[in-house]
Amino acid sequence: MFARRRRLAVAIAVTIVAVIAFAVPGNDSGNGASMAGADPDDVTAVGNGTNDASPADPAFLPDVDPSIAPEIITVNVPAPPSGTVLNGTASFVRWPQTLGLRPCATPHALIGAVITVTNLNNGRQIKCNNVSIEALRDGSVIVVHTDVFLDLADLVDAPIPVEINF
């Protein structure tokens, strides 16, 4: 019974010494991964030559501060010459919401330009606001909102020959 106690005491002592040996920082025994209480930045792996499992940030990229908004770039676009006159055909389309505008669309004038459209068949004239500068599919010079087109001609007459002035 006394021998059993002595073996138990020796096993406890050996365990305590082993725990202290592995827990002390700066100990070079083992692979370095089981150092309890050590700073993770000081741990180096033995055998494969790598220092850390996570990749380092590239040195050439600046730190990005999310609180700073990107700079607004101002682009100067020359206005078309005033008094521009074009001849061509006009057609119509119904825009879902006009918001109080008399909308029309032509790629020849800037968005927001007030365009005078003259029907060359009957001399009627309207003024409309350019709301789009996309190219027109049907070869027209201008496309006018349906309600505005009715001031120029009947819908069955479309496309009509027109002169636009802006």
pLDDT tens, position by position, 9-23? 888 988 888 888 777
The answer, yes or no, to whether residue 59 has pLDDT greater than 70, is no
Distance, CA of 26 to CA of 143 (rounded, Å): 81
- pLDDT score of 125: 93
101-124: per-residue pLDDT in tens?
889 999 988 888 899 999 999 999
Residue 162 contacts residue 139 (beta carbons within 8 Å) = no
Segments in the chain forming alpha helices (H): 2-23, 146-149
Nearest C-alpha neighbor of 45 from the set 53, 54, 57: 53
The answer, yes or no, to whether residue 162 has pLDDT greater than 90, is yes
- pLDDT score of 152: 92
- pLDDT score of 8: 84
- pLDDT score of 10: 86
Classify 31 in phi/psi space as left (phi over 0), alpha (psi -120 to 50) or beta: alpha
- pLDDT score of 32: 46
- pLDDT score of 49: 52
% of the chain with per-residue pLDDT over 70 = 68
Distance between first and last Cα of the chain: 113
Say which CATH class 85-165 falls into: mainly beta
pLDDT, mean over the chain: 77
Query: Where in the chain are the domains?
Result: 2-42, 85-165
The answer, yes or no, to whether residue 154 has pLDDT greater than 60, is yes
Say which residues have a Cβ less than 8 Å from residue 112's Cβ, sequence separation at least 6.
Answer: 129, 130
